[in-house]
């Protein structure tokens, strides 16, 4: 007699991954609200969705560690969701001229770093090399989210807190500087392994 094995729940549907899916779904929602900002409530709605998405960025990692629910799918999707959310919002904020002039350079630095790091991660993964996320990189991500949040509030936020846009732009520059610092760390790791492989 064969004893039936209990069904195992797919790791694709564990709580950390579901939170990551929520963050991915938030991207088109925030973009749509920023693309058609007919009135103030749409900016506030975009900000509310963005904040929820940002909170899931913390909790998906927390639950994955707390309940030992790490998965290959989660490790792949988590950084993708983070980068899509920030990059899409930056592009929409440039489109709405909330980010303009010299502040465009801060956004360009952040976007270029994310592309660079994604390429390096893919290359190092082929070498079976893992580069852990540093504490500074985590602070960089948090600061990026806060800066983008202020900028999403934008002109609507100015009616509640004068200087909202200026605060967002200052934080964006600080995040850009941290982005350069952490990007250099990844680049050094990549160059070191390229040199080591060429010597082998």
* pTM of structure: 0.85
Distance in angstroms (rounded) separating the CA atoms of residues 148 and 177 = 15
pLDDT for res 196? 63
10-residue mean pLDDT profile of the chain (200 residues): values are 45 83 94 86 94 89 78 80 92 94 96 84 69 78 94 94 96 94 78 64
CATH entry 3.30.300.210 includes domain 11-199? no
Q: Which two tokens stand for residue 113?
A: 């770093």
Q: How many CB atoms lie within 10 A of CB 170?
A: 15
Nearest to 86 by CA among 119, 59, 104, 110: 110
pLDDT for res 93? 95
pLDDT for res 98? 94
Domain regions of the chain by residue span: 11-199
Q: Name the one residue in this structure whose structure tokens are 């900028």.
A: 151
- Give yes or no for a contact between 83 and 96, defined as CB atoms under 8 angstroms apart: no
Q: Which two tokens stand for residue 26?
A: 């938030």
């Amino acid at each position: 007699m064969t004893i039936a094995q209990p069904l195992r729940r797919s790791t694709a549907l564990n709580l950390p991954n579901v939170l990551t899916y929520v963050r991915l779904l938030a991207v088109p929602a925030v973009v749509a609200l920023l693309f058609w900002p007919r009135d103030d409530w749409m900016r506030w709605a975009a900000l509310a969705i963005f904040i929820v998405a940002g909170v899931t960025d913390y909790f998906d990692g927390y639950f994955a560690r707390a309940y030992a629910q790490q998965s290959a799918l989660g490790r792949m999707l988590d950084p993708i969701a983070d980068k899509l959310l920030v990059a899409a919002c930056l592009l929409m904020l440039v489109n709405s001229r909330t980010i303009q002039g010299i502040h465009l350079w801060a956004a360009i630095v952040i976007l270029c770093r994310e592309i660079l790091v994604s390429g390096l991660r893919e290359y190092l993964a082929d070498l079976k090399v893992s580069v852990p996320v540093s504490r500074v990189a985590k602070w960089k991500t948090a600061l990026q989210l806060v800066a983008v949040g202020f900028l999403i509030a934008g002109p609507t936020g100015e009616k509640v807190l004068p200087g909202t846009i200026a605060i967002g732009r200052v934080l964006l520059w600080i995040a850009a500087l941290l982005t350069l610092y952490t990007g250099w760390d990844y680049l050094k790791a990549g160059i070191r392994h390229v040199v080591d492989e060429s010597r082998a």
